[in-house]
Amino acid sequence: MPKPKCNDYTGLTLMNDEQLLRYSRHIFLPEIDIAGQEKLLSSTVLLVGLGGLGSPIALYLAASGVGRLLLTDREKVELSNLQRQIIHSSNSLDEMKTTSAARALHALNPDIKLDLIDDLTAENLDKYVALADCVVDGSDNFTTRFVINRACVKARVPLVSGAAIQFNGQLCVFDFKHDPTPCYQCLYPDDIAQENRCQDSGVIAPLVGVIGSLQALEAIKLLLGMRMKSQLLQFDARALGFRSSKIVPDPKCSVCTDQC
């Protein structure tokens, strides 16, 4: 593979030589090139949750040069997290996850700006969603996912939602900029009874890496304007199988019926 000729780009980009080299494997891709990388550098992503899913999401978005990450988590790092939450380390125990993650991300890529949000609530969520070009949900419960989905539908900000439990993973992508678009709530009834969380049911560690990495991939594609269709991807880690399906809008959905 040829080395990037940084000097050739002088005058065509605001990126300096170090950035051109750092992001050269993106710039080689015709789908990204310099214009796409500059788009990523000027993008803002709201990342909800810095746990098992949030770890690879944050690491890949930071490494990819997404210019500003709004990092949210209200919890501290616990020993039982370290089996799968790879952005944190044994040195981070009892530290806020936002602080621990920020240290790892700055070490990886000092280029990017990080906003640490330790107090995300349903009340202040709209404010942060409005700042974002894309929201990536790495939370671990339906209540939070529903609230985030509602805020994204309202603000028409694209959403990448992920979940992982035991040996099963799921990825949903919604580009609310485009009509008609179903939403996360279309997949589930309002009164979903059973709440499975990995703290109760367990999760095989690399599964969150698979789903979180896919979430980062889809977020980058959304930021680059490469993706528009809503999609559900299910992953069976035991059988090593993916199943992709179209998400059908629920005409009775209480969240997106006005938009669909």
- Residues found near Zn ion in the complex (CB under 5 A): 183, 185-186, 253, 255-256
Report the alpha-carbon distance of residue 155 to residue 230 in Å, rounded: 17
Nearest Cα to Cα of residue 162 among 20, 53, 36: 53
Q: Before 180, cis peptide (omega within 30)?
A: yes
Minimum distance, C-beta of residue 115 to Zn ion, in the bound complex (Å) = 29
Minimum distance, C-beta of residue 27 to Zn ion, in the bound complex (Å) = 38
Minimum distance, C-beta of residue 255 to Zn ion, in the bound complex (Å) = 5
Closer to Zn ion at the Cβ: 2 or 180? Answer: 180
Minimum distance, C-beta of residue 166 to Zn ion, in the bound complex (Å) = 26
- For residue 232, report the phi and psi dihedrals to the nearest 5 degrees: -120, 130
Sign of CA dihedral 138, 107, 41, 129: positive
Minimum distance, C-beta of residue 229 to Zn ion, in the bound complex (Å) = 15
- Look up 198 and say whether it is catalytic: yes
* Active-site option among 152, 183, 186, 198: 198
Closer to Zn ion at the Cβ: 57 or 255? Answer: 255
CB 68 within 8 A of CB 128: no
Closer to Zn ion at the Cβ: 211 or 255? Answer: 255
In sequence order, the β-bridge partners of residue 96 are 76
Count of beta carbons in the 10 Å neighbourhood of residue 221 = 18
Q: 115: which 2 tokens?
A: 């906003």
Closer to Zn ion at the Cβ: 206 or 249? Answer: 249
Report the alpha-carbon distance of residue 258 to residue 260 in Å, rounded: 6
Closer to Zn ion at the Cβ: 60 or 174? Answer: 174
List, in sequence order, the alpha helices (H) in 135-259. 142-155, 184-187, 198-201, 205-224
Count of beta carbons in the 10 Å neighbourhood of residue 175 = 21
Residues noted as catalytic: 198
